[in-house]
Amino acid sequence: MSRLSEAFQSGKKILNIYCTAGYPKLDSTLTVMKALQDSGADIIELGMPYSDPLADGETIQKSSAVALANGMTMHVLFEQLAGMREEINIPVVLMGYMNPVMQYGFEQFCADAAKVGVDGLILPDLPQHEFEKTYKAIIEKYNLNFIFLVTPETSEERIKKLDELSSGFLYAVSSSSTTGGEKDFNAVELYLQRLQGYGLKNPVLVGFGIKDKKTFNGACKYAQGAIIGSAYIKIIQHAQSPEAITRSFVQSILN
């Protein structure tokens, strides 16, 4: 059983927190990941910085720009993650975009991700047909989960197809916008209720606009958990001690 499957077997509401590799400092990656794990996060979504992200709002875009300026590259990232599993026991999912992955070499990327103990991938700009035709077999060869995103505008037929292709979980984007914006949670609840009625095979995690205990609990009424990104990036950008501020942030959501 994969680490992601085990996480969802616990029956608890899953808190997945996004952090940007190489942010706020180049050597912050494992320090921040360890702080998230020790503070009670269930999954870490580790962002691979890219200069032109499609889905990320201003906060995460800025964190990527800082990380790139710090010297973060795909090669540096895998060097930093080489000993990850000596310290990190919870699932780690890499989130990023196809351009840097293709520059690195897709199969080499999957091989290196698997080697350091990464559990899954989120690549929002990898089209479904390209995934099925070319990349699915490579991802499965290295026993990596792959997570597709769905939105309130995604048709029932397509949601069911993306759920069938996904493994680990299905990422339910709360609205058709970028990360970090304000959301109307009445509309989000109706959308999540609709997903509940589809009999999906994967657990659902809700992302975009989840920022505190209220929005986390609201998302968890109709899903197995939620993903927090921009709100966490904001609080660590000037933190002297990622450990202390991470503990305070995570506990404010879970307690």
Q: Tell me the C-alpha distance between 220 and 201, whole Å.
A: 17
Per-residue burial over 42-58, b = 16 or more CB atoms within 10 Å of its CB, e = otherwise: bbbbbbbbbeebebbbe
Which residue out of 27, 38, 42, 45 is catalytically annotated? 45
In this structure, how many other beta carbons lie within 10 angstroms of the beta carbon of residue 92?
Answer: 23
Q: Among candidates 70, 83, 5, 10, which has minimal Cα distance to 40?
A: 10
Catalytic (active site) residue 56: yes
Are the C-beta atoms of residues 87 and 40 closer than 8 Å to each other? no
Catalytic-residue membership of 153: no
The catalytic residue among 42, 56, 112, 119 is 56
**Residue 244 Cα to chain centre, angstroms:** 22
As annotated, the active-site residues are 45, 56
